[in-house]
Amino acid sequence: MSLLVSVSAAVVSLYLLVYYATCRAARCCSAVRLKGKTVIVTGGNTGIGKATALDLACRGARVILACRNKEKAEAAAFDIRTESGNNEVVFMHLDLSSLKSVRHFAETFLNSEPRLDILINNAGVLGPGRTQEGYGVAFGVNHLGHFLLTNLLLERLQQCGPSRVVTVAALLHRFGHVDFPLLALQKDLVSSQSACSSLQAYCSSKLCNVLFTRELANRLEGSRVSCFSLHPGVIQTELSRHFSLWLQLLVWPFARLFFLDPEGGSQTTLHCALQEDMEPLSGRYFSNCALQEVGAKGRDDALAKKLWEVSERLSSLS
């Protein structure tokens, strides 16, 4: 099994390094100001989420850091307020591994905040474990929690249109698959909690992000809400804390040479959230601040529709 994990990690690393050897990291060039606008950033207390929140705060937005860890989130909010000079940066508790917490967050937000202009589904996890409802943690947090959150906030987004939903997916969606019988049986997209399966579960959850965005765009056609998914780049973030020590040591030299820092990794998110005249591209996928084609499974409208219907049942929306 350790050999299989090593080979899988090597293949993925090689693919990513080749990809980025041919692509220069672009930057969001939008000069849009956000005074009077409200933005939610899930996982905004660290990594690219915090970098995204800082940029949006610097543009004058009211920024809600929707995070699980109160201490870290309040420290991040303080840092962002200090650096941006914007006091409209606040923490609201959200644990995406609990659908009950997602519902409580949405209720609290809708009762206290009159606007929502941009929802950034940024938070993500990689590793073994289960959510409070028993789903595999990557599927439950990366997809199902964000699916429910977006749907619960959709009416407010429509009221404040033109508005946007931006979901951070990954290039690794190309390696994902959605096995509905397995999901029904195991409450997960993989059959075990091994290191190799955790990586596969992450890839599959990112495919779900792409499919969710595609179906959301279909359902919102003609509305004033547009949505986008994206690959942020290969980033030095806390996702690696879920790796074993030997794998962290293996990845570290490549990370120092090739991986983007969180600010660089936030640029495509910002592009999707801020770039003007993006509405005709709703449902599409971006990388390096440019429109990109997704993998074949990410273009499957029937698969996207079925995932939506299954997710509605699993999150008790239907």
Q: How far apart are CA 295 and CA 34, in angstroms?
A: 33
* pLDDT higher at 110 or 7: 110
Q: Is 60 exceeded by the pLDDT of residue 19?
A: no
The residues spanned by each domain of the chain are 29-314
| Per-residue pLDDT at 17 | 53
| Per-residue pLDDT at 21 | 44
| Per-residue pLDDT at 4 | 60
Question: How confident is the model over 110-129, as a mean pLDDT?
Answer: 96
Percent of the chain with pLDDT over 90: 79
Q: Which pLDDT tens digit goes with each residue over 251-305? A: 445 444 455 778 899 999 999 999 999 999 999 999 999 999 999 999 999 999 9
Q: How far apart are CA 119 and CA 292, in angstroms?
A: 21
Q: Is 90 exceeded by the pLDDT of residue 23?
A: no
| Per-residue pLDDT at 22 | 42
Whole-model pTM?
0.88
Question: How confident is the model over 158-168, as a mean pLDDT?
Answer: 97
21-25, 206-210, 280-284: range with lowest mean pLDDT: 21-25
Q: Which residues are catalytic?
A: 202
Q: Mean pLDDT over all residues of the chain?
A: 89
Q: Which pLDDT tens digit goes with each residue over 84-104? A: 999 999 999 999 999 999 999
Tell me the fold of 29-314.
Answer: Rossmann fold (3.40.50)
Q: Is 70 exceeded by the pLDDT of residue 246?
A: no
> In the numeric block, which tokens belong to residue 56?
């949006």
Q: How far apart are CA 229 and CA 121, in angstroms?
A: 9
Could you tell me the pLDDT band of residue 310, with boundaries at 50, 70 and 90?
very high
Task: Tell me which residue has tokens 């962290």.
Answer: 248
| Per-residue pLDDT at 236 | 55
Q: How far is CA 9 from CA 4, 124, 125, 197, 244, in A?
A: 9, 19, 17, 12, 12
- SS3 sequence of the chain: CHHHHHHHHHHHHHHHHHHHHCCCCCCCCCCCCCCCCEEEEECCCCHHHHHHHHHHHHCCCEEEEEECCHHHHHHHHHHHHHHHCCCCEEEEECCCCCHHHHHHHHHHHHHHCCCCCEEEECCCCCCCCECCCCCEHHHHHHHHHHHHHHHHHHHHHHHCCCEEEEEECCHHHHHCCCCHHHHHHHCCCCCCCCHHHHHHHHHHHHHHHHHHHHHHHHHCCCCCEEEEEEECCCECCHHHHHCCHHHHHHHHHHHHHHCECHHHHCHHHHHHHHCCCCHHHCCCEEECCEEECCCHHHHCHHHHHHHHHHHHHHCCCC
